[in-house]
Each structure stands twice: as structure tokens, then as C-alpha cells.
Structure 1
Amino acid sequence: MEGSASGSSSSATPSKPINLPGAQRRNADSITHSQPRPLPTPGPRSIVSPIQNLLPSAPASPPTPAPSPTPHKQRLPSWSTANDGEDAFLREARPHFSRLDSQERQRFLAEILNLCNSQQLSFVLNYVSPRLKKDPFKSLPNELCLRVLSFIDDPKTLARASQVSKHWHGLLSDDLTWKKLCEKHSYRRLSGAGVLPGSSYHSDVSGLPHSPQEAGFGGSSNKKGFQSEITPQNTVTPRRRQYLSYKSHFKQRYMVETAWRTGGQAIAKHITPDQGVVTSLHLTPKYIVIALDNASIHVFNADGIILRTLQGHMMGVWAMVPWGDTLVSGGCDRDVRVWDMSTGENTKVLRGHTSTVRCLKMSDDKTAISGSRDTTLRIWDIEKGICLNVLVGHTASVRCLEIHGDLVVSGSYDTTAKVWSISQGTCLRTLSGHFSQIYAIAFDGKRIATGSLDTFVRIWDPETGVCQGILQGHTSLVGQLQMRGNTLVTGGSDGSVRVWSLEKMQCIHRLAAHDNSVTSLQFDDARIVSGGSDGRVKVWDLRTGMLVRELSTPAEAVWRVAFEDEKAVILASRAGRTIMEVFSFSPPLDTSADTFHGEGEGSPERSSGIYEDGGHMRDDDDVPFPMRS
């Protein structure tokens, strides 16, 4: 009762403030604050704003569970309001910033940036940089853009530029840019009307093994001599899509040139069980033909798959020349034989020479000219199988000959070269000046080049027979010659290869190519390929004279090397056996005449640029050509 009375009196009578000393008052306050307070009842005036809760004087209210969901108007949680303080600040700052003028905005941003550390400033830089990029080609007419692009001669730069945006990709699809780039890289068109002739292509088709008859020709009477050590990987040879634009032409040529420098693959390798000297090698769009001193002629298709062996010569075959499906051969048995390589049939046997047939050429599909150790040349009608003319004048073996139009030029061991008329069957002029046997000759209709045992190379005018120049530098027999335009490349038994300018009659490059004789030599507009008796095959840059690479592994000796744009064939001796290797430098087959999608390690590097116009680089943007490091 007393307690209740006191309680009621205390509630009825207001308490008076009691003045306590400072220490006692602080203790009383701590006791009061330590006691739990009753939870406030929610009401329109009792809700405390979040900002008030953050004030130091406001006591923190304990967390309360969310109210149970009601069936009326359920509301999903909003993650955007998770940081209410930040959103409230942004809501207030955004309109405030928009009301500022330019100078005030700059001052405001400067103050904000001064408060940032290096990591935050780096974030700002990465965020702002793409928005500051402007596409210069958007502000210029297309003609001026193409003019700017015409000064770029690096294909890798153009490849990356084509992936910057759709607009850039469209500009770089213009054929004029690629035409000028083809001219800068000396990628000449091979035919008129903007269309290149189709060439044989070796597609990547694996898992198609060849039968023993195809690969090793051990089970057929007309396929013997070679055994396949490595099955050719590329077995399907579709025609390459014709090039309809300079862009596709440049892409294909660029990929081939890159493969010659760093790529390529051996698609076939054949071994003969017996040791035979390879005397002749010819590479055509349809066939690979080799002749040996054991009377055999082996015919392969363009992929290096053996087709047949031509048998008929009784002694070594030392000369042959193909023309389409026709092959004309000659050798130590003194016969000249005509073959149909598509069937293997020996269609004609031409007799008349009294000694070894040493050289053969064809002026057209019906006429062949042979040179022999019997000192004569014979002109044959291979269709009728008759001798049309016997060219008499040399006093020693006819070692080499070349044909251009109606003229044939022969080189002999009698130290002279002679110019003959095929139609008339007469000697027009004799070229005298060498002091020893002539072993090699080149003739392009304007100039005649002869290489001799006297170490000199002489240049002649076929019209007058006058010696226009004497090229000195070799120290031994000059047995390899090839002439293209104003460039002459020679190879000698001293192991050196020399590049000459026929305009200045000067040596441009002196290549220490091999440790022994140069046994094979060929060049085109871009490269020189040489083989030597040291067993090595080397590729050289024609323009700089620098060594590009070595093909294949070293052998005991290299007999012959021949190449075309996308293929090289090597005949060498290893472990007492003759080996044929076929290398392909063909790019992947196009699915489109104008586009190429970079894949794998051959893809160009992707640009990280992004322009204000939304020109994002896309993964499916076309790449003009692949790039290899």
C-alpha cells in the first residue's frame, strides 16, 4: 500500500529538480541512460529521419524486423535505395550542378578532383577518355579519307584500323586503297579485267589416308621406285576462288608471302629405295615431274601424290620438258620420247641423234627442239613424230638451249653460243667470246646471258650478236642462270649466288649461299631459292639480299629445287636415298571473295578504341587478312 501510495503521489505531484554536485550528476545521467527506453509508437510525428539518426546527440534505435507482408499491395525491396544517404546527396547535387554556369562547373569539378586519390583519378581518366575521342573521318569527305589512307603502306595498321568502327571498316573496304597497296608491295595482277586466274589449291583435309598404290606405288607395275614415308595431308585440290577485287588479291598474296617467311607445311614426302641422281625437275599447275639417271620418270599430281612412272628409256634420262599433259624426254639412249602424262602412254619415239640428248625445249604444243652431244640440234614435230630440221654448226656437245618466239639460242662446249631461226632452220649469228665451255644460258627475247667454265657471264644482243657486258665476280664455273626483266641471278660452283642489274651491268648482291656448288637456282619478284651440294635449301630476299630462312632439314646433297607462288619441291639425297619433299604455302580457303574472319593466333590485335558515334569494334567485323608476328 505504501508503495502504491508513493507511486500515485509521485505521479500526481510533479517532482522538483534536485541540484547535485557535478560528479554525482554525471553518475546519475549514466545510470539513467543505461536503462532501456520503451520503443516509440510509430506515428506521423514520431518518425525520425535518417539524417537525424546520424546526429551524435540522437540515441541509436535498435534494429527492428520488417513488418509481415500483407495481402494488400505487396512491395518488392528496392536495391536502388540501399544507400539512401548517397542517393539523397546525388538527388540534391544533380540539379544544383545543372544550374551552375561553365566556370562554376569547372571550379566545382576541380574541388572534387582535389579530394581524389590516385586510384580514383585513374578511374576518372578511364571513364572520361573514351568519351573524348572523336572520329576524324566522320568530319571529312570520303574522298579525303581515302587519300589519307593511301599513305599507309603497313597492312597490319590497316587491319587494325578496319576494326575501329563500322565507318572505318566501310572506308577500308574501298578497293582503291587495296589497289595502291598492291602496287606498293609489287603484288601485280596476273590477268586483266580485275580477275586472277584460278590456281590449284591444297585444302586442309585430314584423315583421308592414301592407298599403298597411291602413296608408295609398290603394288602396281607402273608405280614403282618411290615409297611414301609421310602420307600427304592435303588430298583434295579444288580450284581457288577467282579474285574479284584488289582487297582479296592483296589478302591472298600477303598471306602467301608471310607463309614463305615464317610458315608453310610439308604436305608430302617420298623416298626411293635406290640411289639415283635427279637430272631434271619440272613443276606445273597440274604435275610434278622428275627424271633420274636410272631411266625412270616419275609423275606426281600437284599435291605430291604419285600418279605413275613412265618407263621406256633404256638409259638415264637427262632432259625433259612438259607442255600441258604432254611430256617430251631424252637421255643417254639417244631417243626423244613423247608421253601423255594423263595416261602414261608413250605416244611417239623420235630417233635421229647419235649421242646423248642433253637439253630439250618446246616452242609450242607441237614443236620440240633437242640438243645433243652429237653437236647438233633437231627440230621435231611431236604430233607427227618426224624431224623437221637438223641444225648443224657447233663443233662440240650442245649443253643448253633456250627459246623465245621463233628464235632458239644454244650454248656449247665449243665455247660459242648460236642464234637459230626455228622456221627457217638456219643459224642467224654466232656469239663468240668465252674461253671455255658454256654450261648455262638465259634468253628473254631482248638479251642473251651465257655462263661458262671461264667464270664469266656475258650479256649479248640477239639482234646484232654484240657482247653488251661481261659480268665478273664468280671464281668458278657458272652453271646456273635466270633472267627476269632487268635482273639476272647467277649461281656458281664457288657456292655463291649473285644478283646483277642488267641496266648498270653491276652486281647488286653477293650471297655466300652454300659451302659447295650451287646445284639449283630459281627466283621470282620477291625471293631467291637456292640449293647446293652442301645439302641445304635457302630462301633469300631478292630486294635486300638477306637470308629469309632455310627450307627442310639439311641433307647430303640437294639435286633440284623448283617453286611457284604457293608451293616448293625439293629433291635431295639422304642416307643414300633420293627424297622428294613438297612444301605448301597456301593460305586457308576463302569462304568469301572479299572477307576474312581472323581466327586463332593469326587474328589481328583487337583495338580498344570506341568513338562517340557508337562505332564499337565488333567481334564479327571482317579482317582484311591475318597477321603473324
Structure 2
Amino acid sequence: MTHRQSDRDPTYTRWVHNQHPKHITFPAHDRSVVTCLIFTHGRIISASDNHSIHVYDPITGNLIHSLDGHKGGVWSIAATKNTLVSGSTDQTVRVWDLTTGRCTLVFGGHTSTIRCLEIVKPEWIDVENESGTIIREKWPKRPLIVTGSRDHSLRVWSLPRPGDAEYKSTEESEIDPSEVGNPYHRLHLKGHDGAVRALAAQGRTLVSGSYDYTVRVWDIISGTCRWVLEGHTHKVYSVVLDIHRNFACSGSMDGTVRVWDLNTGQNRHTLQGHTSLVGLLGLSPSYLVSAAADATLKVWNPESGELQHTLAVHQGAITCFQHDEDKVLSGSDGALKMWDIREGTQVRDLLTNVTGVWQVVFKGRWCIAASNRDNATVLDVWDFGMEEGDEREDEPPDGIYDDDTDDEDSDQAEGEAMD
């Protein structure tokens, strides 16, 4: 893999050379652990193990909304435009209107903690029709929510549109939501023999990783399990997916990362080198990055399985990271570091001398981290487009997990069919 300096995202030079980015710090969630952090459409959204979800302004640090309703720690969130979905130890899924801060829907059905969830947006994919011809279709036909739970199962729900009827479960655990009239419930996916710890979904494909040592590949529309991927010798903690290149990757407590062929269900590569739990994975066009409890991150070529770099300066287990085609940001006990992903070299420290870094997200010129210092939980926000003291440019913050399109209009044209 070769790269030219001119291939760099122009914002990368700001990240490297701006030694005094605009930086604010503000308290969040008292002293609780921040379990989830996303940056979406100009909002910072953080969730914690003390039941709370907060929405902040990234420029001022002001609290916009406190989303109250969960009765247990919140361990998974996802957002699209003005809608947030959250999953909790209270066994419910909640849907929130981010413009008002109201909870509009509560879904019961899972019988244990909801540990992972995703919003699956429609996208064009290649499919084979009955005559064997490859055609392009848009799946799913409307946005979906997928949830994975410690109850060993996954559920698929329709993502409500603005103005759709509100629905709030009368019980925290409905054994079969379809029988009690939940119009948003679509599928209950059973088959795992252990907690579902991680999931990834695109188009019609859902991949789930479980404490039963397996990875399962599902058709998200029909509910069919296409493959049971066996090979790991311990719990699976992380999965990533690329339907356009037809592979998925999984990280396990056995210290390995496996790359799976979605066409055949075979193991393409077993990536070895970590010495303990691989709890986090990230995938971009050129790089697969794994982060482990052995205090290292490894950068791989996902196509060949070749190890590109080992990032080994942290002193403790990697607690969070994000990467793109230029950089990696990684957090561990005491520090948040930035790396050049192409060279495998450390660029700078963003945080030092903190008790722990729990979450980090970045997008464009913006970076947000959640950490603990001085026995308090804080959020740090950096704007790498500016030096301290500069006037703010008229550029609204953008966020991860979102694109710039409004799916709802195209969904209406596509219709409501779920196949």
C-alpha cells in the first residue's frame, strides 16, 4: 500500500500543525462512567452507567437536553438526524426526539441488558435475481433499528418517522412484542447460545458476535441465518462489516482477529499478535485497526491480512479509539494519543495525567473525548480548524453516524415493503 502526502485529507494538516486548537472542557454526568459518545448534526450526545443521556452544544458546552427515562445504565446509542435510539440494562429500547428531548417510543421484548444497537439506513447493494443476473436494489426499504442483548437474541424494529404514532411498552419485558401490538417490531433473531456483545449491519446483512464464541450472519429482511462462523476459542467482543467487499471481521478474548468471507462463510485470515482480549475493531477503506487489553493497537491490511503497524506506547488496556485514512485517536489509562496511521508513528498527546479516557469521537475538524480527572467526569472538545483566540468561522459542527441526505423522502418513494 503506497500513499502520497498530497492524498491527505486537508484537515489532517490542521490536526498535526495546529498546536493550540480551540479547546473547552466541561463537567458531564457527575462522577459516572461515560458508556457511549457520539457527535451528530452539531450535537454531542453522551450516555452513562447512571441512567442518564445528555445532549450538549459543542461550541459552548451548554447542556441542551437531559434525556430522562431509563431505569438502568445506558450501554448503546445511535442517532440519525433528529432521532436518537438508546438501549439499557433496564431491558428497553427508547426512541427520542432530539428537537424536544422527549421520549416518543419505548420498546420492550428483550429480557436482559441491551448491549449493542445500530440504525440501518437504506443503501444500494448488488443482489442476484432469480435468473442469476446481478442487479442493484436499495435495502432496507426504510431505516431499521437492530438491537443485541445479553438474552442471547437480536431484534429488528422499524425506525419511526417523525409524526409516526407513539408507542410505549406497558411492561419492561414483553416476551413477544408482535403479540401485544407493537407495530414497529419486525423480527426476533434466535440462535446464539450466549450474550450478543457486538453487531454490525449494512443493506440486508447483519453480523453478530457472541459470548458463545461464534459470529452469525443474518439476512436482516427475512430473518434467515446465512452462516454460523466458527473458529474463535473464546468470547467474541467486536465485529465490523463491509458488504461491498463481502467480508466481516471479529475480535475475541482469544487474542485473535478473524476475517470472514461472506460469500462462502470461510475464514479468510486469522490475524495473530495480540496477547489478550481484542475488544475494539475499526474498519476504513484501507485499514483494519484492532485494539486490545494488551495496551496495543494493530493496523492491518484487511484484504491481505498483512500487519502494517503496532502502536505500542499506552500503559494500559485500550478503552476507546477511532480511525480514518489518516489518523488514529486512542484512549487508555491516563492518556489520549493521536497516531499517523500510514507511518505508524505517534503525532501528539491530546490528554495526559487523567484517571481514564472512556470514549473518543472525531469528525472533520472536531474531536470530543470523555474522561475522568480530579474525581469528576468531563468532556473535552477540540476545534482543530482554529487557533486559540481566533474568531469562529461560520462552519457548523458535523457528526459521525450521519450522512448529508434525508432518507425519509427517498424511503417514502421506495414504499413500505419489508419483503
TM-score, scaled to structure 2? 0.79
Contact 1:491 1:498 survives alignment (8 Å): yes
Aligned to 2:215: 417
- State the distance in 2 between where 1:264 and 1:406 align: 45
Match of 1:284 among 40, 57, 75: 40
CA spacing shift, 1:347–1:273, aligned 2, 3 Å:
closer
Q: CA deviation at 1:258?
A: 3.1
Give the letter for the 1:292 counterpart: S
Is 1:299 the equivalent of 2:55?
A: yes
Q: 1:392 aligns to what?
A: 190
The answer to whether the 8 A contact 1:477-1:493 is kept is yes
**1:469-508 equivalence runs, <5 A:** 469-508=269-308
Correspondence for 1:554: 353
Q: Secondary structure at the match of 1:552?
A: strand
Distance in 2 (alpha carbons) for counterparts of 1:439 and 1:406: 22
3-state SS of 2:7 partner:
coil
Aligned counterpart, 2:19? 263
Deviation at 1:187, TM superposition (A): 4.3
Larger radius of gyration: 1
Shift of 1:267: 3.4
Q: Give 1:186's match in structure 2, choosing from 1, 4, 7.
A: 7
Query: Within 5 Å, which residues of 2 pair with 1:574-613?
Result: 574-587=373-386
Matches for 1:311-330 after TM superposition, within 5 Å: 311-330=68-87
Alpha-carbon distance between aligned partners in 1 of 2:359 and 2:371, rounded to the nearest angstrom:
7
- Quick one: structure 1 residues 553 and 327, their matched pair in 2 at CA, closer, same or farther if it must change by over 3 Å? same
| 8 Å CA contact retained: 1:264, 1:586 | no
- Give the structure 2 partner of residue 458 of structure 1: 258
1:45-444 correspondence to structure 2 within 5 Å: 185-187=6-8, 253=10, 257-272=13-28, 274-303=30-59, 304-364=61-121, 366-383=143-160, 386-444=184-242
CA deviation string 1:149-188 (max 9, x = no partner): xxxxxxxxxxxxxxxxxxxxxxxxxxxxxxxxx9852146
Partner Cα separation in structure 1 for residue 62 and residue 153 of structure 2: 37
State the one-letter code of the partner of 2:185: C
Give, as a single letter, the amino acid of the residue that structure 1 aligns with 2:56. F
Q: Letter of the aligned partner of 2:145 in structure 1?
A: A
Q: 1:352 to 1:540 in 2, by over 3 A?
A: same
1:266 deviates by 4.4
Corresponding position of 1:522? 322
**1:351-376 CA distance string (max 9 Å, x none):** 11110000010113741000000011
RMSD: 2.1
Matched residues in 2 for 1:589 and 1:275: separation? 33
Kindly provide the amino acid, as one letter, of the partner of residue 490 in structure 1: S
Whole-angstrom distance in 1 between the partners of 2:365 and 2:392: 15
Residue deviations 1:315-366 (CA, integer Å, cap 9, x gap): 1101111111100001110010000111101010011111000001011374
**Larger RCO of the pair (alpha carbons < 8 Å, separation 6+):** 2
Name the structure 2 match of 1:537: 336
The one-character-per-residue Cα deviations of 1:586-612 (angstroms, maximum 9, x if unpaired) are 1478999xxxxxxxxxxxxxxxxxxxx
Q: Could you list the per-position Cα deviations for residues 72-126 of structure 1 after superposition, in whole angstroms to 9, with x for gaps in the alignment? A: xxxxxxxxxxxxxxxxxxxxxxxxxxxxxxxxxxxxxxxxxxxxxxxxxxxxxxx
Establish whether residue 568 from structure 1 lines up as the match of residue 345 from structure 2.
no
* Cα distance change on mapping 1:591 and 1:375 into 2, 3 Å: closer
Structure 1: tracts of 5 or more residues without a match: 1-181, 189-252, 593-629
* 1:263, distance to aligned residue in structure 2 (A): 2.3
Secondary structure, counterpart of 1:585 in structure 2 = strand
Deviates more, 1:333-342 or 1:304-313: 304-313
> Aligned partners of 1:475, 1:465: CA distance in 2, in Å?
26
Q: Which has the higher strand share?
A: 2
TM-score normalised by length of structure 1: 0.53
Distance 1:394 1:415 in 2: 9
**Deviation sequence 1:5-47 (CA, Å, 0-9, x none):** xxxxxxxxxxxxxxxxxxxxxxxxxxxxxxxxxxxxxxxxxxx
Give, in angstroms, the shift of residue 273 of structure 1.
Answer: 7.0
Task: For 2:53 and 2:29, locate their aligned partners in 1 and report how far apart those are by CA, in whole Å.
Answer: 15
User: Deviation at 1:428?
Assistant: 1.1
Give the partner amino acid of 2:231: G
Paired with 1:544 and 1:183, the residues of 2 have a C-alpha distance of 12
User: How far apart are the structure 2 equivalents of 1:590 and 1:516?
Assistant: 37
Distance 1:259 1:409 in 2: 34
Q: Distance in 2 between matches of 1:490 and 1:391?
A: 28
Deviations 1:439-467 (A, max 9, x none): 01111112211000000000001121110
How many Å apart are 1:505 and its aligned residue? 1.4
- For structure 2, the residue ranges without an aligned partner over 5 or more in a row are 122-141, 168-183, 395-419
Normalized per residue, the structure richer in helix is 1
Compare 270-279 and 568-577 and name the one that shifted more: 270-279
Taking the aligned partners of 1:416 and 1:591, their CA distance within structure 2 comes to 49
Q: In 2, distance between residues paired with 1:301 and 1:475?
A: 40
Identity level (%): 37
1:612-623 equivalent positions in 2, closer than 5 A:
none
* CA distances 1:274-307 after superposition (whole Å, capped 9, x unpaired): 3211111111232111000000000013423321
User: What is the rounded CA distance, in whole Å, between the counterparts of 1:184 and 1:476 in structure 2?
Assistant: 35
Q: What amino acid does structure 1 have at the position aligned with 2:365? A: E
* Dislocated runs of 4+, deviation >4 Å: 587-592
After TM superposition, give the deviation of residue 501 of structure 1 in Å. Answer: 1.4
- Checking the alignment, whether the CA contact within 8 Å between 1:442 and 1:449 is kept in structure 2 is yes
What SS does the corresponding residue of 1:185 show, helix, strand or coil? helix
**Superposition deviation, residue 535 in structure 1:** 1.7
The verdict on how the C-alpha distance between 1:421 and 1:571 changes in structure 2, with shifts beyond 3 A counting, is same
Aligned partner letter, 2:222: Q
